[in-house]
Amino acid sequence: MATSPRPPAAVAEALQFRPRWWWDPVPDWVLDHINPAAIREIAVVQLTSQLETLRVQEKALEASIAILRKQK
Amino acid sequence: MSAFPISLRASGQAKPASTSESAVVARDTRRPVLLIGFLRQGNLGLGYLSATLRQFGYRVEVLDFESDVDELVAAACRLQPMLVGFSLIFQFYVRRFGALAQALRDSGVDAHFTIGGHFPSLSSQDTLNLVPEVDSIVRFEGELTLLELTDRLSVGADWRDVPGIAYRGAAGECQVTPAHRLIHDLDTLPWPDRDYEPESILGQRAMPLIASRGCSRTCSFCSIHVFYRAVPGKVVRLRQPRQVVDEMAYLHHERGVTIFLFQDDDFPLYGKAWQRWTRDLIRELYRAGLVGRVIWKLNCRADAVDPELFAEMRDAGLYLVYMGLESGSEDGLDTLNKGVEVAQNLVAVRMLKELGLTFEFGFMMFDPSTTFESIRANVGFLESIVGDGSNAAVFCRMLPYDGTPIKESLAREGRLRGDVCDPDYDFLDARINTLYEDLNDLVYVAGWIHGHRALSPKINWAWNELAVMDRLFPRLRGRVRYEQTLRAITRASNDLLFRLVLDLTAAHEQGRSHRWSEARLAAPCDRLLERLAAARDGFVARNQTVLLRTLENQRLAVAA
């Protein structure tokens, strides 16, 4: 449920949607073939790319602010 | 040092489970035993082993195989166990168990290493080759064998003649000792240890248990019947209904468990004798005052669904039925040796719907007999059972596990591929191989059935939750509307999935390209997940006060 861009409804801890434990891990091809070290590696890649995106966005915002200030 | 007779008994019971009951055995219980296995959904196998050892005075630590390797190594170094037992449930993890065993040895853990489970029992030589650090294998039902092995190790005695084990001979060859008989009376076993917090569904605590062991059927893809038939003794053994219900009552009153998940290989429902047993179980549930306070789930086959019996079970708390339907084509069912026809699968689903019971099912879209025609038949079957949005479609490919008849037959035909960690086979039509790979990439990796999105299982979890709400909570505001929304989401998800499978099937059959891609599937998949999250969390949030108050009242009632 992590894909929703909307703010989540305020649901108490005990009532959260937690399906994961229920599943039979046999056919869970993606996660089953990844060990914890690889999961950490993927997380590092994801965070690094996020950081890069934010840096680019920061530069773009700075440029936008500069343009707006000039127009003022 | 202490001496006990070897006998497994539940409290107040004195039935022998071993032919060597009268033998007095020396044991030294000062060093602990460490058991490592999967603990997701609870691991009853390890629970029974641990309880058996503890009954005879041993200290036992059970750790989760999915923990960080460093944590497991640190725990083993701290405990200094005399024996480390690995529980290998799924054969494709055998190398990971091997790596863990190696890491433990590298860190100086000098304990005896043993391993058990279906794969080590049925493929002992391969296991010894793949996990060179293990000293022995506990084959088949492990309680008696592990106890005897631990006893021998504890006093430094030779263990190589313990019944039911395999080990490396002088030349590295696999030596096997005669196996124990299957435990005739399961109620002589102690109740399994459950040293973990229960998982929960909407705050309701859930625990696994078993009422029986063994399966009388002979499905070609399954190693369970091979496992039980490989040793002497009665294949299917049922516990006494009163014992089962006593265990449930204990877990309800002492641990606050309200959801019981029966993990039997095949819950005893088929035929008059087993139906009588089930009705006795129901009577015991009423006697113990558990009806209306607890609910339960079972696994069964389509030919066991009987409307009268299931209505009685529903009234006594049955809330969810998992059925191994496996195929919607007659050829598929024949290949899998299910012993049922498509019509029986259809009737079973219809009966469960009429009874208002939520159901889940296992389904193998692909098996060694798969043709383009059978895929279309399977999609047609799925459409007819869940096209109404009653459940999200899930499916997988049959895999040829070790010890199964179908693996042997694929090997004879020269179609077996892969290895023990990734067993595979060729389809009869090479185009189906590429279709499967294509579909696998899209459906699994993009996350329809599995993977990080796992849309279908999440939808089915929402249905599971709704069934729990209906049975363990008061009537909730907006329930009908929520069910309609959930049904609409399920229908939309199924429709798209079926269209994808049919389009891909046609494209591969005709040798043309198709328009589906992971990126194209991701957007509707995410939209459906978003709708599901909004509907589910919105409904729960609107009823949160009632839900939480009910949980609190139930806890107070259990404590009282």
Return the HEC string of B5-64.
ECCCCCCCCCCCCCCCCCCEEEECCCCCEEEEECCCCCCHHHHHHHHHHHHCCCCEEEEE
Whether A32 and B457 lie within 8 Å, measured CB to CB: no
Biggest alpha carbon–alpha carbon distance for chain A = 62
B376 and B432 belong to one structural domain = yes
B56 and B145 belong to one structural domain = yes
**pLDDT at residue B19 in the model:** 37
CA-based nearest residue in chain B for residue A16:
B202
Asked if residue B188 is part of any domain, the answer here is no
Report how far apart, in Å, the C-alpha atoms of B293 and of each of B215, B244, B289, B544 are. Answer: 30, 16, 8, 20
> Closest approach of chain A CAs to the CA of B530, in angstroms?
5
Among B87, B204, B450, B546, the residue to mutate for chain A (most A Cβ within 10 A): B450
B150 and B208 belong to one structural domain = no
Predicted confidence (pLDDT) at residue A2 exceeds the cutoff of 80: no
Per-residue pLDDT, averaged over B361-377, amounts to: 96
**pLDDT at residue B15 in the model:** 35
CA-based nearest residue in chain A for residue B533:
A1
B486-513 core/surface letters (b: 16 or more CB in 10 A; e: else): beebbbbbbebbbebbeebbebbbeeee
Whether A17 and B69 lie within 8 Å, measured CB to CB: no
Residue B339 one-letter amino acid: G
More confident residue, A29 or B274: B274
In tens, the pLDDT along B499-546 reads 999 999 999 999 999 999 888 888 888 899 999 999 999 999 999 999
**Nearest alpha-carbon partner for B424 in B444, B439, B406:** B406
| A chain contacts of residue B444, beta-carbon cutoff 8 Å | 27, 29-30
Lowest mean pLDDT among B51-55, B175-179, B414-418, B554-558: B554-558
For residue B400, the SS3 value is coil
**C-alpha–C-alpha distance, residues A9 and B536, integer Å:** 9
Predicted confidence (pLDDT) at residue B363 exceeds the cutoff of 50: yes
**pLDDT at residue B421 in the model:** 79
Task: Give the residue carrying structure tokens 């459950």.
Answer: B194
More confident residue, B520 or B104: B104
Asked if residue B555 is part of any domain, the answer here is no
User: Which of B141, B176, B211 corresponds to the end of one domain?
Assistant: B176
In tens, the pLDDT along B459-493 reads 999 999 999 999 999 999 999 999 999 999 999 99
B293 and B373 belong to one structural domain = yes
**pLDDT at residue B422 in the model:** 81
| pLDDT band at B443; cut points 50, 70, 90 | confident
| pLDDT band at A18; cut points 50, 70, 90 | confident
Predicted confidence (pLDDT) at residue A22 exceeds the cutoff of 70: no
Predicted confidence (pLDDT) at residue B2 exceeds the cutoff of 70: no
More confident residue, A51 or B389: B389
> Closest approach of chain A CAs to the CA of B267, in angstroms?
18
| pLDDT band at B58; cut points 50, 70, 90 | very high
Per-residue pLDDT, averaged over B161-185, amounts to: 95
- For residue A12, what are its two tokens? 């108490």
**C-alpha–C-alpha distance, residues B267 and B316, integer Å:** 16
- For residue B465, what are its two tokens? 């939750």
Asked if residue B10 is part of any domain, the answer here is yes
Among A6, A11, A32, A46, the residue to mutate for chain B (most B Cβ within 10 A): A11
In tens, the pLDDT along B328-354 reads 999 999 999 999 999 999 999 999 999
> Closest approach of chain A CAs to the CA of B338, in angstroms?
20
| pLDDT band at A50; cut points 50, 70, 90 | confident
Q: Is the pTM of this model over 0.80?
A: yes
**Count: domains in chain B:** 2
B496 and B359 belong to one structural domain = yes
**pLDDT at residue B519 in the model:** 80
B152 and B238 belong to one structural domain = no
| pLDDT band at B5; cut points 50, 70, 90 | very low
B172 and B251 belong to one structural domain = no
- For residue B511, what are its two tokens? 């040798």
User: Which of B114, B147, B176 corresponds to the end of one domain?
Assistant: B176
| B chain contacts of residue A22, beta-carbon cutoff 8 Å | 41, 199, 457, 461, 464
What CATH number has the domain bearing residue B326? 3.80.30.20
Asked if residue B212 is part of any domain, the answer here is yes
Whether A9 and B534 lie within 8 Å, measured CB to CB: yes
**pLDDT at residue B522 in the model:** 81
% of chain B surpassing 70 pLDDT: 94
Number of H helices, E strands in chain B: 19, 20
**pLDDT at residue B13 in the model:** 33
| A chain contacts of residue B199, beta-carbon cutoff 8 Å | 21-22
Whether B548 and A12 lie within 8 Å, measured CB to CB: yes
**pLDDT at residue B453 in the model:** 73
Lowest mean pLDDT among B130-134, B143-147, B156-160, B398-402: B398-402
More confident residue, B449 or B144: B144
SS3 content of chain A, % helix, strand, coil (to 5): 65, 0, 35
B142 and B219 belong to one structural domain = no
CA-based nearest residue in chain B for residue A36:
B68
**Nearest alpha-carbon partner for B547 in A19, A15, A13:** A15
Put simply, whether A11 touches B (Cβ < 8 Å) is yes
**pLDDT at residue B66 in the model:** 87
B130 and B262 belong to one structural domain = no
Asked if residue B75 is part of any domain, the answer here is yes
Mean pLDDT (chain B) is: 92
| B chain contacts of residue A12, beta-carbon cutoff 8 Å | 544, 547-548
> Closest approach of chain A CAs to the CA of B537, in angstroms?
6
CA B319 to chain centre: 18
Lowest mean pLDDT among B124-133, B416-425, B427-436: B416-425
CA A45 to chain centre: 11
**C-alpha–C-alpha distance, residues B401 and B120, integer Å:** 12
Give me the helix-helix angle, B479-510 and B372-386, nearest 10°: 170
User: Residues in chain B whose beta carbon is closer than 8 A to a beta carbon of chain A?
Assistant: 38, 40-41, 68-69, 90, 92, 96, 199-200, 202-203, 396, 440, 444-445, 449-454, 457-458, 461-462, 464-465, 526, 529-530, 532-534, 536-538, 540-541, 544, 547-548, 551
Whether A15 and B96 lie within 8 Å, measured CB to CB: no
> Closest approach of chain A CAs to the CA of B63, in angstroms?
16
Asked if residue B192 is part of any domain, the answer here is no
B87 and B229 belong to one structural domain = no
Predicted confidence (pLDDT) at residue B118 exceeds the cutoff of 90: yes
Put simply, whether A17 touches B (Cβ < 8 Å) is yes
Asked if residue B554 is part of any domain, the answer here is no
| pLDDT band at B263; cut points 50, 70, 90 | very high
B134 and B223 belong to one structural domain = no
CA Rg value for chain B: 25
Reported ipTM: 0.81
Predicted confidence (pLDDT) at residue B106 exceeds the cutoff of 90: yes
**pLDDT at residue B560 in the model:** 64
**How big is the A-B interface in CB pairs under 8 Å?**
92
Burial of A38 (0-12, 13-18, 19+ CB in 10 A): exposed
Per-residue pLDDT, averaged over B373-377, amounts to: 97
Q: CB-hemisphere CA count at 13 Å for B114?
A: 32
> Closest approach of chain A CAs to the CA of B263, in angstroms?
12
Predicted confidence (pLDDT) at residue B76 exceeds the cutoff of 70: yes
Could you list the residue range(s) of the whole structural domain that residue B344 is in?
197-546
Per-residue pLDDT, averaged over A27-31, amounts to: 47
Asked if residue B553 is part of any domain, the answer here is no
Instruction: Say what the alpha-carbon torsion angle B13, B14, B19, B20 is, to the nearest 10 degrees.
Output: 120
Put simply, whether A3 touches B (Cβ < 8 Å) is yes
**pLDDT at residue B525 in the model:** 87
**C-alpha–C-alpha distance, residues B315 and B464, integer Å:** 17
User: Which of B176, B206, B222 corresponds to the end of one domain?
Assistant: B176
Predicted confidence (pLDDT) at residue B448 exceeds the cutoff of 80: no
Predicted confidence (pLDDT) at residue B69 exceeds the cutoff of 80: yes
What CATH number has the domain bearing residue B53? 3.40.50.280
B406 and B321 belong to one structural domain = yes
Strands B136-138 and B112-116: parallel
Q: Which of A17, A29, A31 sits opposite B536 (nearest CB)?
A: A17
Biggest alpha carbon–alpha carbon distance for chain B = 74
